[in-house]
Amino acid sequence: MFSITRVGHVEIRVTDLERAWRFYVDMLGFVETERSGDRIYLRGYEERQHHSLVLKLADSPGLAHFAYRVADPEDLDRLAEFYKAKNLPVVKIPAGREKGQGEAIRVQDPLGFPVEFYHEMEEVERMLQQFHLYRGASPMRLDHVNCQTPNVQAGYDYYVKELGFWVSEYTETDDGVLWAAWLHRKQNVHDIALMTGTGPRLHHFAYWVQDLYGVIKVCDILAGADMVKNIERGPGRHGLSNAFFVYVRDPDGNRMEIYTSDYMIADPDWKPIKWSLNDPRRQTFWGHAAPRSWFDEASLVESVVDGKLLTPTPAELKDRPDFVT
């Protein structure tokens, strides 16, 4: 197995850098680390590495890549060989091409997602106790990505059996078919969730805040800026993961979750929690039900070879609970 520690950063495509900066930095309170050419590098207040969110100027929104950090730098070569043996595209990223980051590899994984693996990243000032500089919702750290894929079982087998991820919670259909899985390397509910849907598409990326008020504050900020329509879902609480959440759409439609109140998983023999797809408390313990856009809309993903957006494939199962009309 490989020494993957956590999901490390996400690079999203935006069509107007200044507009995206106003949304993420000026309103939501992300910390700007650096600007370089067509990219802005951002981080949360407790993060000590150069960036966890990259805004990339592009002609359409979507996912450029998400990345996992590995503890052993030699795993970069091992991972490159692993993907080459599967006849999947592998691109070597030299140190410094992505600002603040050492050598990396970027692959089109078996599910079609553009995934980067890296070890080294420049250390920067942690802002956790710079309370006088807190702004907006004060996002603390990147927590996870949620990805839609046509066949979750195939994705589960790849992540668990080949990459060594653990399972915290999962969802099955009424006839016992795997519909979604929450998978992790760090000691909380997930680094990545795989959810049945048209894919490969990025459903959302998520940042953790310190308390419930941080979630509510997102709503106040967007309402005050006359951007209520950018609040897609919430606030509310998930049954699955116990997270207190709100989902927002940036000016390009990329979806982000701001959340808190999930839980720690310290034991390696953790027994995964099973949910039924048609249990309404699974997705919404309380709060308004998810809108149709939640299931219909997600971000397209780039090819690591030419940067073009990939055409997704329809889901092999029904992509929503029976009670969603």
Task: Please list the residues that pair with 90 across neighbouring strands.
Answer: 107
Condensed to tens digits (0 to 9), the pLDDT of residues 11-69 reads 999 999 999 999 999 999 999 999 999 999 999 999 999 999 999 999 999 999 999 99
Q: In the chain, what is the greatest distance between 2 CA atoms, to the nearest angstrom?
A: 53
Domains and CATH numbers, the chain: 4-123 (3.10.180.10), 137-300 (3.10.180.10)
Q: Which amino acid is at 56?
A: K
End-to-end CA distance of the chain: 42
Q: Take residue 221 and report the two structure tokens written for it.
A: 């900020």
> Which residue is listed with tokens 């520690």?
5
For residue 31, CA distances in Å to 132, 137, 248 come to 13, 11, 18
Closest CA to 142 of 258, 233, 245: 258
Distance in angstroms (rounded) separating the CA atoms of residues 103 and 242 = 37
223 by DSSP, 3-state: which? helix
Per-residue model confidence (pLDDT) at position 325: 65
Is 51 in contact with 12 (CB distance < 8 Å)? no
Digit-coded pLDDT (tens) for 83-96: 999 999 999 999 99
Name residues of the chain where pLDDT drops below 50: none
- Cα dihedral 28, 29, 33, 34, rounded to 10, equals 50
Which residue, 121, 119, 107, 112, is CA-closest to 76? 119
- Cα dihedral 205, 290, 254, 132 sign: negative
Q: Which residues make Cβ contacts (< 8 Å) with residue 128, sequence separation at least 6?
A: 45, 46, 140
Helix H or strand E encompassing 56: strand 53-57
* Residue 322: predicted pLDDT: 87
* Exposure of 81 in the CB half-sphere (CA atoms within 13 A): 5
